[in-house]
Amino acid sequence: MRPKLIVFAGMANALCAGVAHAQTSDATDLAGRASSASAFGRDRNISVMEREHPEYEPVPMHLGILELTPSMAIGTGYDDNLFAVGAPRIDDAYLHVVPRLKIVRPSPNLKWTLSGQFDLTRYANRTSENQTNYRVDGSAHYVISNATTFDLSALHGRFAQERTDPDSPVLATRPIRFTITEGSGTLSQVFNRVRLRAQISAEKRDYRDGTDPLGGVVDQDFRDRTTYTGTGTGEYAFSPSLSLFGAVSYNIRDYRTRVGPVPARDSRGYEIAAGSSFELGAKMRGSLRAGYLAQHYRDPFFQDISGLLVRGELEYFLTPLVTLTANVDRSVNETGILDAAGYLATTASVRADYELLRNLILSASVEKERRNYNNIDRDDDRWNYRAFGVYRLSPRVALRADVLRRTQDSAGLLAGREFEKTRVSLGVTISGL
């Protein structure tokens, strides 16, 4: 069962950020995530965000064997730099409403989940920034046998690019809209101490053109693409507290349109890594890997990208009521900057979660992202500082408060925007019966 508190925190994220993003994953995401009966389980301790409180969990409606959980998240906030620029800074207040319906078919052998939501943002003065987004996603977990499982997931949604995103065109009068359609299948097989996992996924992105202040077209068709990814992982458990794994991933990134003299950014890439999933006593657990990554572009106009791969998560249980979490990731990502062939992103973050009361969770986090752009002279340093709290009044009602500060520094001949901005929001979520 997915802890319900994470659901509330996720809705708080959506209300604060103002846009939802599709989640990417691979076959190593579940390294060290299994039941206590498995040699791959790492559940000697429970983090603050994982701990369940049945007395505060939303009560679903029952329709036959189905469980229906409707929810409504309503928030209001203030943004002191709406367009994420150095000057002039324009502030505004906004209202954010997220109605959501989740349908679950619980079953020990075949469980499936279907959910849909609208994401509505309305600004007090700058109505050009208003957004009406949506997403529908589903997943299924099929237990073929005690040793074999098969998982499916799919998503389709319309989103809006945040103004803080370096890929967001400065001249666009409205946030760039885009749709994402994606699906994945994962097969897992356990042979005593050995676990094998294979995943195939596909993602299609379609960006809508924007307009500049003079009514001209801000072309975004060159960003349309389909990405296919295959990942394989082999994991060996030396003990209930330690396993080693190796992973190989291969991707194909197929662009649909080219603009002017700049060719399409079609590419092929791979990742090779080795790592460990571990639990050190009752105080620490994590999954870390290191290896090599490369992305090769079909057209010689673009330079290839290669380098060190580092990825992982480490949880430290300071006390039963305080969990510290550190994450690191280094990967090749696509960009909306026309002349660039993507960028190498290095991201590190630290988060502290404190269970002040059974129904009051306080969190604070710091994240640093370094973007080294390929094919152009530009490097970005992005910082996110965040503090938020979730106060659950009852199984139906939860309150939340959120403060998010973002900064960006950019260097190089083609340096991007530099800005500082702070967003503050308050909201309530009503769920279940």
CA-CA distance, 122 to 130, in Å (whole number)?
5
pLDDT at 42: 66
CA-CA distance, 374 to 160, in Å (whole number)?
25
**What residues does 189 pair with on adjacent strands?**
148, 196
Residue 225 has pLDDT above 70, yes or no: yes
118-132, 257-271, 367-381: range with lowest mean pLDDT:
257-271
What's the DSSP call for residue 179? E
Architecture in CATH for domain 61-431? Beta Barrel (2.40)
**What residues does 350 pair with on adjacent strands?**
326, 366
> pLDDT (tens digit, 9 = 90+) per residue, 266-298?
999 999 999 999 998 889 999 999 999 999 999
CA 2 from centre of chain: 16
CA-CA distance, 139 to 184, in Å (whole number)?
9
Residue 21 has pLDDT above 90, yes or no: no
Say which residues have a Cβ less than 8 Å from residue 319's Cβ, sequence separation at least 6: none
CA-CA distance, 314 to 286, in Å (whole number)?
4
CA 228 from centre of chain: 18
Confidence tier at 416 by pLDDT (50, 70, 90): very high
> pLDDT (tens digit, 9 = 90+) per residue, 314-327?
999 999 999 999 99
pLDDT at 259: 67
pLDDT at 256: 81
Specify whether the CB–CB gap between 120 and 137 falls below 8 A.
no
Calculate the CA dihedral of residues 409, 415, 417, 419 and round it to 10 degrees. Answer: 20
> pLDDT (tens digit, 9 = 90+) per residue, 361-395?
999 999 999 999 999 999 999 999 999 999 999 99
Residue 6 has pLDDT above 70, yes or no: no
Give the three-class secondary structure for 41: coil
Confidence tier at 136 by pLDDT (50, 70, 90): very high
Say which residues have a Cβ less than 8 Å from residue 291's Cβ, sequence separation at least 6: 247, 271, 272, 273, 274, 275, 308, 309
Confidence tier at 248 by pLDDT (50, 70, 90): very high
20-24, 151-155, 407-411: range with lowest mean pLDDT:
20-24
- DSSP string covering 156-175: EEEEE--TTSTTS-TT-SSP
Distances (CA, A) of 333 to 46, 230, 398: 33, 16, 36
> pLDDT (tens digit, 9 = 90+) per residue, 149-168?
999 999 999 999 999 999 99
Peptide bond into 88 cis (omega under 30): yes
Residue 22 has pLDDT above 50, yes or no: no
Give residue limits of the domains in the chain.
61-431
What's the DSSP call for residue 259? B
